[in-house]
């Protein structure tokens, strides 16, 4: 791994990353009047949203909550199908291949659209050429947590402690090659630690090892860590957002703790490139309107997801920003499959 390019990418490119998404999330809170349900269906047939992960996961929950609301807005049935496998890549391959006569969307995320095409030699799709961004759904944050037995209460103390105990500098992440993995690398770099990043098979085994004291530090999504933090089983020392989060105001940001790092992730809908532009627009407008609906927003927040309302043009912009910030980080990490 090349040290200095990563650090540069980290500090230059990522300072301020995520601020844009966060501001959109904030804007989504200012409710506009929702479009009334139209009488005639806006689509020629049922709409299918393909999710690359198991039911009940964040991506699936977002798609299903949205589907419920879209059904009334579009006037057609909206189905959610789970096509699991290869970290979501199989779902992208499936959606890429559908014809122009089918109404199929992909529930996409940074793993599918940004990281996988960079680290794998052949993912079987081109994130830019094969898909049209439709609309954002949600954003999510990352956090750094320590097990209850780790004798530190602040992020800066953690860094000092890890420097004093270099053999303990193991950062657990929910999956190898995930955004938390790269974020953990960046944190280690920026803090000047020789940290090992250890990939788990999901947040559950990582939390188990963190609680049992098998690993001292975890970098994971905030929603998977916060219930255990609130119960006092582990301690979140910092979040990766650009400002303190309204849903967790007591948690300091990394910026406050002296590291100029900001990162977040998103869930968004994508259409296959074959879908006619007019149809993409119809769906995009319906999704944006749905995401502005306070009732739906409340449902998202109740399951610890932050709704984001953005037009298709705004979505394209947000995705481009995200890509330009993360691509150098992923590339300079030297990580390849």
Partner 1 sequence: MSDFDIFSNLALGFGVALSWQSLLYCLIGALLGTLIGVLPGIGPVTTIAMLLPITFKLPPTSALIMLAGIYYGCQYGGSTTAILVNLPGEASSIVTTLDGHQMARQGRAGDALAVAALGSFVAGCFGTLLIAAAGPPLAGMAQQFGPAEYFSLMVLGLVASVVMAHGSVLKSFAMIFFGLMLGLIGTDVDTGAMRYTFGIGELSDGISFVALAMGLFGIAEILRNLDGPESDRSVLGSKVTGLWPKASVLREALPAVLRGTGLGSVLGLLPGGGAVLASFAAYTVEKKLAKDPSRFGKGAIEGVAGPESANNAAAQTSFIPMLTLGIPSNAVMALMVGAMIIQGIEPGPEVMTKRPDLFWGMVASMWVGNLMLVIINLPMIGMWVSLLRVPYRLMYPAIVLFCCIGVYTLNNSTLEVVMAAAFGLMGYGLMKFGFEPTPLLLGFVLGPLMEENLRRAMRYAQGDPIVFVERPLSAVLLAIAVILLIIVLLPAIRKKREDVFVE
Q: Which residues bind partner 1 (CB under 8 A)?
A: 54-57, 60-61, 64, 80-87, 89-90, 93, 119-120, 122, 124, 167, 170, 176-177, 196, 198-202, 204-205, 207-209, 211-215, 227-228, 230-231, 233, 302-304, 335-337
Distance CA 335, CA 72 (A): 44
Q: Which helix (H) or strand (E) holds 199?
A: strand 196-199
Tokens of 264: 């977040």
Q: How far is the CB of 94 from partner 1 (least distance, A)?
A: 9
CB of 84 to partner 1, least distance (A): 6
Q: Closer to partner 1 by CB, 74 or 80: give it.
A: 80
Min CB(132)–partner 1 separation in Å:
22
Identity of the residue, 43 or 90, whose beta carbon is nearer to partner 1 in the bound complex:
90
Q: Which is nearer to partner 1, 41 or 55 (CB)?
A: 55
For 179-183, the CB contacts below 8 A with 24+ separation are 179/110, 179/111, 179/115, 179/142, 179/263, 179/265, 179/326, 180/142, 180/219, 180/220, 180/221, 181/219, 181/335, 182/115, 182/326, 182/329, 182/330, 182/333, 182/335, 183/142, 183/219, 183/240, 183/261, 183/263
Q: Rounded distance, CA 93 to CA 80, Å? A: 16
Q: DSSP code of 285?
A: H
To partner 1, the closest distance from the beta carbon of 218 in angstroms equals 12
- Residue among 37 and 204 whose Cβ is closer to partner 1: 204
Do 13 and 328 form a contact (C-beta atoms < 8 A)? yes
Min separation Cβ 277 and partner 1, Å = 29
- 318 contacts: CB under 8 Å, gap ≥ 6: 20, 21, 24, 136, 266, 310
On whether the CB atoms of residues 235 and 229 are closer than 8 A, the answer is yes
DSSP 13: I
Nearer to partner 1, 102 or 170 (CB): 170
In the complex, what is the shortest distance from the CB of residue 317 to partner 1, in angstroms, rounded to a whole number? 30
Q: Please identify, using beta-carbon distances, which residue of 55 and 260 lies nearer to partner 1.
A: 55
* Phi, psi dihedrals of residue 5, rounded to the nearest 5°: -60, -35
Least distance CB 302 / partner 1 (angstroms): 5
Considering beta carbons, is residue 54 or 320 the nearer one to partner 1? 54
């Amino acid at each position: 791994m090349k040290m200095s390019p990563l650090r540069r990418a980290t500090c230059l490119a990522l300072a301020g990353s995520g601020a844009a998404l966060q501001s959109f999330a904030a804007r989504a809170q200012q409710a506009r009047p929702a479009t009334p349900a139209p009488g005639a269906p806006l689509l020629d047939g049922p709409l299918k949203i393909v999710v690359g992960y198991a039911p009940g996961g964040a991506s699936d929950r977002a798609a299903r909550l949205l589907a419920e609301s879209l059904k009334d807005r579009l006037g057609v049935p909206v189905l959610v199908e789970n096509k699991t496998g290869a970290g979501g890549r199989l779902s992208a391959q499936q959606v890429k291949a559908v014809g122009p006569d089918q109404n199929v969307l992909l529930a996409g995320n940074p793993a599918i659209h940004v990281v996988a095409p960079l680290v794998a030699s052949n993912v079987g799709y081109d994130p830019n050429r094969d898909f049209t961004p439709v609309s954002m759904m949600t954003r999510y944050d990352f956090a750094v947590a320590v097990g209850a037995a780790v004798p530190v209460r602040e992020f800066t103390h953690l860094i000092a402690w890890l420097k004093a105990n270099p053999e303990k500098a193991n950062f657990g992440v929910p999956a190898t090659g995930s955004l938390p993995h790269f974020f953990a690398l960046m944190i280690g770099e920026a803090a000047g630690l020789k940290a090992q990043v250890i990939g788990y098979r999901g947040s559950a085994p990582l939390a188990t090892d963190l609680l049992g004291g098998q690993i001292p530090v975890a970098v994971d999504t905030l929603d998977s860590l916060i219930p255990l933090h609130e119960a006092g089983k582990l301690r979140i020392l910092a979040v990766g957002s650009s400002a303190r989060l309204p849903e967790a105001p007591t948690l300091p940001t990394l910026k406050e703790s002296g590291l100029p790092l900001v990162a977040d992730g998103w869930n968004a809908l994508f259409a296959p490139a074959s879908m006619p532009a007019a149809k993409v627009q119809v769906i995009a407008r319906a999704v944006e309107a749905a995401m502005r609906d306070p009732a739906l927003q409340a449902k998202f927040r109740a399951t610890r997801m932050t709704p984001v309302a953005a037009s298709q043009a705004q979505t394209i912009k947000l995705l481009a920003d995200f890509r330009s910030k993360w691509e150098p980080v992923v590339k300079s990490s030297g990580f390849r499959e």
